[in-house]
Amino acid sequence: MFVCSRTDMHQRIFNVCAKITPIMLKKIEKELELRLQKIILNNGGHIEG
């Protein structure tokens, strides 16, 4: 979809952000925790997925 203006872009971002649920945020938090634990276990090195 083409963005017509800065205002249009702002509104589209606002609309998408408004759809984020607490459940989605909790899932992201858990996934981030798991990834950070993997990084710690790998002494800060690269991890896969």
> 3 and 12 in contact (C-beta within 8 Å)?
yes
Predicted local distance difference test score (pLDDT) of residue 2: 73
Could you list the residue range(s) of the whole structural domain that residue 39 is in? 21-48
How many angstroms separate the CA atoms of 33 and 19, rounded?
Answer: 23
Domain membership flag for residue 32: yes
- Residue 8, in any domain of the structure: no
pTM of the model: 0.67
**15 within some domain:** no
- 3-state DSSP percent of the chain in helix, strand and coil, to 5: 65, 0, 35
For residue 12, being part of any structural domain is answered with no
Three-state DSSP class for residue 5: coil
Number of domains in the chain: 1
Q: What pLDDT does 1 receive? A: 65
Residue 37 lies in a domain: yes
Which tens digit of pLDDT belongs to each residue from 2-49?
Answer: 768 999 999 999 999 999 999 999 999 999 999 999 999 999 988 886
- The 3-state DSSP class for residue 18 equals helix
